[in-house]
Chains A and B, each alone.
Chain A
């Protein structure tokens, strides 16, 4: 397996007024291409912060994040946005679809950043919706879809520009068990059949079972690393 992401001595400190809160402390992590990694841990452990840093939504206070040998923590805002558009697909707990757009138009959104013409965008979005089993719901707006269907639209949006990395923040957190399993099966298929590297934050041990391996965070530190260091 090829190393896709290399995280070294990563730290993140938030300033809340005069107070400084160290959310992540000296994280070292390698993520291989085609990996399906679950990040677990209690609330406030730094899971989402680490996910945001891996997805290029935030910048670390210290350390480095290298993606395909390129330091993304040093990219300026514009270049980072381009990198996200090209390399990362995002899946959120609350789907975060545009309520005024149809499922088709929601899925087309990332393609607006490419040079594709309208017909190509339409075709690719239709393929992505077909992949998540929602080809017949393309014209529906998010409010006309169930939670599970909305999450599948958001997965279609995440994969439509064919990114290497899918970043999922509690993707089943707002779904019933049946819908959650559908979504997780879909993620596993994207990982196994389409080679997508997936980093997923979850509270749910059953969800974590779909991942190829799981890491635990506690108080801003990877538990496995802490144990190894102690040993």
Chain B
């Protein structure tokens, strides 16, 4: 500890350079904190369904595999199940393929299971009564200037209609608002159409649904119910996997890409760059201080003391920046989650992330400091004082 002021003063000898390096380290560890939260969120999703009011059942094979609509009645018979609804992905685009509209073909009771979607009774009745009717999120309405009564052309990215065209038309009969901006703001951007209309119109879908959503009576029985639902289709050609909605989303993402690999690759690149950047800073810092290090040795600091001081400097730089970065991530993660409208539920920076983060700080600090510390240790006093 008695060397701390010396190490600190040496570190901030060139304030601008050290601060810029520190900012890079903070940014790298902020990114680490955020990405590790994403990875942890995907890892943790679906470990247990208990506590979840709604379960989602999809094909065990892949999210693009559909399930028979006949399962609906059998799932309703599972003890503990309160209600079951279903939906298909429609995947529409408005006017331009780049204007993707998050659209689902849903069962008549879909809104019963999502009380957080607010639709007036009159509009719900209008939706039930209109075969080509659609319920549209209010942010979509604002974005495209739509209103109730408009007939909206949507181009499906996958499904043709009976004429073989992918151009579909829907009548807006109601507007959806989110009753819980914190957890379900994304409903504001959804577009719901009738599953029956969809099923009867596209030749691609005959009595198939994309996934089921089950409401349970007792959240503590969710695991058991999930197993019972999956048991219905066991050893069939349409085996299912039932999990929480969050876990299902994570599973979809995992099928699209290996999140762990992506996160690992990004972090690898970030830390490799950090290694070069902070390594360069340390090398320059030591090179500039050759004379000062020689003076320390002259007055009696041993080779090992000088080595330890340079290493301590490098560790201090990394640990300082790393802790600030992770602390910043701890602050930002809840804000990101709160403002995602329920799309992202990132866990806080946990003990595991802190431990891994601190281990990375120490490892990078040692790697970065090793070469300059070695050079400082081997410094020849006479040559260094003579400027050779």
A100→B300 contact, CB < 8 A:
no
In the bound complex, residues from chain B placing their C-beta under 8 Å from that of A92 are 295, 385
B298→A57 contact, CB < 8 A:
yes
| Interface stretch of the complex, out of A33-41, A76-84, A189-197, A215-223 | A76-84
B381→A157 contact, CB < 8 A:
no
Instruction: Count B-side interface residues using an 8 Å CB cutoff.
Output: 23
In the bound complex, residues from chain A placing their C-beta under 8 Å from that of B295 are 92, 96, 98
Q: How far is the CA of A58 from the CA of B385 in the complex (A)?
A: 12
Answer yes or no: B292 CB below 8 A from chain A CBs. Answer: yes
Answer yes or no: A152 CB below 8 A from chain B CBs. Answer: no
Closest B residue by C-beta to A113: B300
Q: List B289-312 residues whose CB lies under 8 Å from chain A.
A: 291-292, 295-304
CB contact under 8 A between A58 and B299, given known A98-B292, A100-B9, A100-B10 = no
Q: How far is the CA of A82 from the CA of B302 in the complex (A)?
A: 8
CB contact under 8 A between A78 and B300, given known A100-B9, A112-B2, A118-B2 = no
In the bound complex, residues from chain A placing their C-beta under 8 Å from that of B12 are 100
Closest A residue by C-beta to B15: A100
Partner among B13, B298, B303, B385 whose Cβ is within 8 Å of the Cβ of A77: B303
* Number of CB contacts from chain A to chain B under 8 A: 65
In the bound complex, residues from chain B placing their C-beta under 8 Å from that of A86 are 300
A113→B5 contact, CB < 8 A:
no
CB contact under 8 A between A52 and B300, given known A112-B2, A118-B2 = no
CB contact under 8 A between A98 and B381, given known A81-B302, A81-B303, A113-B300 = no
Contact with A along B1-12 (1 / 0, CB 8 A): 011011001101
CB contact under 8 A between A112 and B382, given known A81-B300, A86-B300 = no
A52→B301 contact, CB < 8 A:
no
CB contact under 8 A between A99 and B13, given known A81-B297, A112-B6 = yes
List 5 A-B pairs, Cβ < 8 Å. A57-B385, A78-B304, A82-B302, A100-B10, A105-B5
Closest A residue by C-beta to B296: A109
In the bound complex, residues from chain B placing their C-beta under 8 Å from that of A157 are 299
In the bound complex, residues from chain A placing their C-beta under 8 Å from that of B3 are 112
A109→B299 contact, CB < 8 A:
yes
Residues of B within 8 A of A (CB): 2-3, 5-6, 9-10, 12-13, 291-292, 295-304, 381-382, 385
Contact with B along A28-53 (1 / 0, CB 8 A): 00000000000000000000000010
Which of B10, B297, B298 counts the most chain A CB atoms within 10 A? B298
Residues of A within 8 A of B (CB): 52, 55, 57-58, 77-78, 81-82, 84-86, 90, 92, 96, 98-101, 105, 109-110, 112-113, 118, 157
B382→A113 contact, CB < 8 A:
no
What distance in Å separates the Cβ of B201 from its nearest Cβ neighbour in chain A? 77
What distance in Å separates the Cβ of A218 from its nearest Cβ neighbour in chain B? 21
Q: How far is the CA of A96 from the CA of B293 in the complex (A)?
A: 10
What distance in Å separates the Cβ of B16 from its nearest Cβ neighbour in chain A? 14
What distance in Å separates the Cβ of B347 from its nearest Cβ neighbour in chain A? 42
In the bound complex, residues from chain A placing their C-beta under 8 Å from that of B300 are 81-82, 84-86, 110, 113
In the bound complex, residues from chain A placing their C-beta under 8 Å from that of B385 are 57, 92, 96
B381→A57 contact, CB < 8 A:
yes
In the bound complex, residues from chain A placing their C-beta under 8 Å from that of B9 are 98, 100-101, 105
A85→B299 contact, CB < 8 A:
yes
CB contact under 8 A between A52 and B382, given known A81-B297, A90-B298, A98-B292 = yes
Q: How far is the CA of A92 from the CA of B3 in the complex (A)?
A: 24
In the bound complex, residues from chain B placing their C-beta under 8 Å from that of A112 are 2-3, 6
CB contact under 8 A between A58 and B382, given known A78-B303, A82-B300, A96-B291 = yes
Shortest 6 CB-CB contacts between residues of A and residues of B: A85-B300, A100-B9, A81-B302, A96-B295, A84-B300, A100-B13
Closest A residue by C-beta to B5: A105
Closest B residue by C-beta to A83: B300
Q: How far is the CA of A127 from the CA of B300 in the complex (A)?
A: 21
What distance in Å separates the Cβ of B46 from its nearest Cβ neighbour in chain A? 54
Q: How far is the CA of A110 from the CA of B305 in the complex (A)?
A: 13
Q: How far is the CA of A157 from the CA of B304 in the complex (A)?
A: 22
B303→A57 contact, CB < 8 A:
no
Q: How far is the CA of A101 from the CA of B382 in the complex (A)?
A: 23
Closest A residue by C-beta to B8: A100
A58→B381 contact, CB < 8 A:
yes
What distance in Å separates the Cβ of A169 from its nearest Cβ neighbour in chain B? 9
A101→B299 contact, CB < 8 A:
no
What distance in Å separates the Cβ of B337 from its nearest Cβ neighbour in chain A? 43
In the bound complex, residues from chain A placing their C-beta under 8 Å from that of B6 are 98, 101, 105, 109, 112
In the bound complex, residues from chain B placing their C-beta under 8 Å from that of A110 are 299-300
Q: How far is the CA of A96 from the CA of B381 in the complex (A)?
A: 13
What distance in Å separates the Cβ of B310 from its nearest Cβ neighbour in chain A? 15
